[in-house]
Amino acid sequence: MQHRTALHAQEILEVNAKLEGLRMRQKADEEKLRLAMEERQRKIWEGIEGVIKAEEDKVKAVLEEERKVKEEEERKRIEEEMRAKALEAKRLAEEMKKAEEEKKKAEEEKKAAEEKEKREKEEVETLRLQAAKELEEAEREVTEGKSRAELGITKPSEDWMAAHDHLIDMKTNTMRTVKADQTGKAEWSKWRRQITPKIGQITDDEKEINRISLQLYQILHPPDAAAHHPAIYKALLSSLAKAILLQAETEVTAEKKSAGPLARVAFNLLETLDGFAQVFFSKLVQRTGGWPVPYMVPPGIGEGPWANDEERRKALHEARRKAMGYRKASNGNGDELETASEYSARVSGIMRVYFHILKFAPQQKPLHVLFQLPRYWTWFTRILMDKSMLVTATGAQLIYTALDVMGSYARKIWGHQWNKLLELIYEGVTKGYDAGKTIGGSTAEGMAARMRIQLEVERILLGQES
């Protein structure tokens, strides 16, 4: 019984030992399983975290790219704003500079205009005083019993005849003397050839005008050579006058603005060259007939005898046309003369230069009476009294030319008296100066010139600048 109990106890111990072993193995297995589960879970979480991190990295990369794009866009926007601000600042600076320049220019132009207006007023006042003085002297001399010739008060026919006689004297005496001697002829030709190129160089520049004027003066008075023989000097004066007038025929007829510079050169020479005034006026009459006087050359000019009245009429007509300055036709058909319209255009170009000369105020000494300002008034009073000139298209064209050159200027000088003369002209182109007769006649050229006169008179009386 005791043995059985001991055996039972032994068995119990063995069972317990086995159970303990089983518990230990179970515990070890559980621990191993736990560790395996933990490892599995760790790996699972590592995988999950890796995926999450990868996704986070992707998101971060996208966000970083978006940030960089936004930063680049912001940088460009800022740069563009800065560039726009810089351009705006530059534009404002340029506008301010331009505004300053324009303001300065406007001030300079205003100052120049004021100075010009002041000079013109002074010139007008000087001319007023001069005209008043001349009138006073003339009246005094009349009371002292001096003749018309001594006072320079001449008739149109006398002025024309004086120019005509001067031309004849030049041809029969001066040029004959020059051409009679080969040396004299060569000397004249040498200096004459220098004139035309210089006349062709004239531009609307004060320095150039003065330079060319001096060079032309030195042709007549060589600084490094002996003085010309009197006949050669006079012949050169004639060549100089002809060159100026030919330039007027070509240049001024094409562009009226070129008359001013050409007239200025002529004026400078008239003021400095002795004897040039008479020569220039006679050549002026030769190229334009009686218009500078003005004077309608009488029909009796010409030579006979004639076979019959018809031959006499034709001869006198041709002689008169030539005396009135008609030139050969530009087409070169023999002795055929230029047309009336060609004649009017050419004469108008020359007379525009003449009227400009009358406008200039002398600085050194009074010019010859034929080139003094009162001659402008004389020209109008004479042509308005000569109906044979008023009826022609050329007469109308020259009245317009004279008004265009200095009609407004004359109003500043003669005031109310000039207005009255303008009203007389206006009546002549609208109502007529005689029954059924208007200035310019009935030709197309005359009617066109008449309309130009009307518009010009209206402009002057309204005080508008041309």
Residue after which a domain boundary falls, among 337, 367, 397 = 367
For residue 405, the 8-state DSSP code is: H
Is 382 found in the same domain as 353?
Answer: no
Please state, in angstroms and as integers, the Cα–Cα distance from residue 162 to each residue in 174, 240, 281, 287, 374, following that order: 16, 20, 10, 15, 19
Q: What is the pLDDT of residues 69-123, one digit of tens each?
A: 888 888 888 888 888 888 888 888 888 888 888 888 888 888 887 887 777 666 6
Residue after which a domain boundary falls, among 305, 334, 367 = 367
Is 411 found in the same domain as 346?
Answer: no
Contacts of residue 269, defined as CB under 8 A and 6 or more positions apart, other chains included, come to 213, 216, 217, 240, 276
Q: Does any domain span residue 168?
A: yes
Q: Does any domain span residue 450?
A: yes
Which H helix or E strand runs over 134? helix 2-143
Q: Does any domain span residue 37?
A: no
Is 345 found in the same domain as 395?
Answer: no
Residue after which a domain boundary falls, among 367, 396, 431 = 367
Residue 38's pLDDT is 77
Is 407 found in the same domain as 267?
Answer: no
Is 349 found in the same domain as 203?
Answer: yes
Structural domains in the chain (count): 2
Radius of gyration of the chain (CA): 53
**pTM of the predicted protein model:** 0.68
pLDDT at residue 151 is higher than 80 = no
Task: Give the range of the structural domain holding residue 386, as residue numbers without chain letter.
Answer: 373-466
CA distance 424 to 427: 5
Q: Report residue 402's pLDDT band, with 50, 70 and 90 as the boundaries.
A: very high
Least confident of 218-232, 323-337, 420-434: 323-337
Is 380 found in the same domain as 355?
Answer: no
Q: Does any domain span residue 66?
A: no
Q: What is the pLDDT of residues 256-281, one digit of tens each?
A: 899 999 999 999 999 999 999 999 99
Q: Does any domain span residue 271?
A: yes
Is 400 found in the same domain as 357?
Answer: no
Is 401 found in the same domain as 361?
Answer: no
Is 402 found in the same domain as 349?
Answer: no
Q: Does any domain span residue 62?
A: no
CATH number at residue 325: 1.25.40.510
Q: Does any domain span residue 75?
A: no
Is 282 found in the same domain as 167?
Answer: yes
Which H helix or E strand runs over 400? helix 393-430
Is 269 found in the same domain as 166?
Answer: yes
CA distance 350 to 91: 52
CA distance 228 to 177: 13
CA distance 35 to 126: 130
The whole-number average pLDDT for the span 14-22 is 77
Is 412 found in the same domain as 292?
Answer: no
- Structure tokens given for 163: 């120019």
